[in-house]
Structure 1
């Protein structure tokens, strides 16, 4: 059995768009000590490919991190596959809030040095020695205390469209930047309640272990992140302290958690929280764009990029030859092209 996808990306994308199979989008993670990540990676691929799983999974010595979709009909078989792996048995699965099943269109499982890049080189830091988990109800109660500090462990383009009330939102591009900035900001408040949150829990779990390692006394994390919080709030009729939209790293780019729109179109300043990627493949910048600007700029971040997408395809390929944007696409708040950037 092939342990890698061999089909053209565009072909796969069109196939999933046309497929009317009911699919579920979900995420899960687990910090654990994996001795042979490459072998574990191949084991996961063989099992998940057979169940028509699509998505992005990272495997490392420190654990596994997955954002995937799969046919609803295969959900029970998928859970059985997870339960057959000792450290994944009974793992919490974060089901998407807003989901049309078109979030992923191929299966990628990659071996990484870490499942969450942190820039740390400290052999004495144990990522499994995490802070205390909080349910949505416990989170609401603890954050009502004025002595509690709430910290958003996500990046600036995520918190810009949605965050919890009174949260500290670091103006950072990466998690590794946030770790040090938050530590410095709170160094004189180590005795206070420190409550962290992120999308699904994986970043704030590592952060909670790190801050415990650094001497913070009362470290907590929102269990299951924003995704699980929204589910519990709705199921239990709790007060929703999250304002706006939850940014997600798949084709959807976001799911609405509350009715508030707290950000603005980066091109005209109109109230808006719809992320998109610039249609110019040589740019592909992630930014916020309203419908009117999307029409005026033809889905691009600037007039320059609009001109480029209207050139012949061969000319476009020539212009972007050798370009590697990589994670630069997420630096939307830093682009000089955008007049109303954060």
Structure 2
């Protein structure tokens, strides 16, 4: 029987940063998801963790009975072994992989594999609609072509903090903080557009699987989704030598917090209002909110998101330890 203690990371963050800085090899960042029946998620999770740990992989992976959702990196010298492992696992074989657009090898510091009720926390009850009745999956080039038509609605199925730094030209970007809020807002806002062609997109494609099924459940007739998400789209159009219709940054859920797609700066520093699209987590631990902060404000407020957090940090210097690590990690290339 596998020992539970061997299936989890036990190093502290400073130790993880030191380990990463001591590596003499490069890492490749990738993501993938697949809706597939996993009969024993806990057993599958343990087997997966042991295999990836032996390959020195880092990342965040969610396993559920409905499938798997992974964002991770792999040492270049173990890449062939990783691909061979994927091919030998029935639940993972033939799963499309999406490679990072910008990659400094610091996307993840440790390996996390968790069992969840769902591979995406969507807040929806799968018993009230057919989750398999999804929209038409469009290739990146099909999406690129259709998104330029005037009679087509392009809808961003990501949260507001993602769309504020990057989005498709002329896309509808609901001001929502959760996926559940967003799908309900889209159904309401487009209630009179149920016969119009709708193009959905998200980061890697997984959220659009549920979103498209939800829209079809509510009577939308022509629902389409970007297969592979923004990551696959940008990679393909750049290979074709085309100008991306997605502008700005693509927000990603790892240490980088974003990949530059085009030079456009669409957002502003939440503190001073200067053009900026750098996300950071507030360095004051009781807050830790995700905000956009320019370098000047980052230095002025010691990484805090507001005057209140900065003042509290001065009154509680013992809570400054995380901030020092936060600033040091930024200097090392880890965008927290």
TM-score scaled by length of structure 2: 0.89
Deviations 1:12-51 (A, max 9, x none): 1331133232001111001122222111111211211111
1:56 paired residue number: 60
Deviations 1:188-233 (A, max 9, x none): 2222111100111111122112222333221111111111111011
Distance in 1 between the 2:55 and 2:131 partners?
Answer: 31
Alignment of 1:1-342 (within 5 A): 2-123=6-127, 125-310=129-314, 313-314=317-318
TM-score scaled by length of structure 1: 0.88
What is the RMSD of the two structures over their aligned residues, measured on CA atoms? 1.8
Contact 2:237 / 2:244 at 8 angstroms: preserved in 1? yes
Distance in 2 between the 1:231 and 1:31 partners?
Answer: 23
Contact 2:281 / 2:291 at 8 angstroms: preserved in 1? yes
* 2:91 alignment partner, SS class: helix
Residue 283 of structure 1 and its aligned partner are, at CA, apart by: 1.6
Residue 59 of structure 1 and its aligned partner are, at CA, apart by: 0.8
Residue 304 of structure 1 and its aligned partner are, at CA, apart by: 3.0
Contact 1:104 / 1:250 at 8 angstroms: preserved in 2? yes
Residue 77 of structure 1 and its aligned partner are, at CA, apart by: 1.1
Residue 310 of structure 1 and its aligned partner are, at CA, apart by: 4.1
Identify unmatched segments of 5+ residues in structure 1.
Answer: 318-342
Against the structure 1 CA distance between its residues 170 and 312, is the aligned structure 2 distance closer, same or farther, given a 3 Å change threshold?
closer
Deviations 1:92-121 (A, max 9, x none): 111111111111111111111111122222
* 2:298 alignment partner, SS class: helix
Distance in 1 between the 2:58 and 2:268 partners?
Answer: 32
* 2:256 alignment partner, SS class: coil
Deviations 1:226-247 (A, max 9, x none): 1111101110012311111111
Contact 1:32 / 1:128 at 8 angstroms: preserved in 2? no
Distance in 2 between the 1:277 and 1:122 partners?
Answer: 33
* 2:70 alignment partner, SS class: strand
Residue 141 of structure 1 and its aligned partner are, at CA, apart by: 1.4
Distance in 2 between the 1:278 and 1:122 partners?
Answer: 35
Once the two structures are overlaid, the 10-residue window that deviates more, 301-310 or 17-26, is: 301-310
Identify unmatched segments of 5+ residues in structure 2.
Answer: 322-336
Residue 6 of structure 1 and its aligned partner are, at CA, apart by: 2.1
Once the two structures are overlaid, the 10-residue window that deviates more, 295-304 or 56-65, is: 295-304
Once the two structures are overlaid, the 10-residue window that deviates more, 6-15 or 301-310, is: 301-310
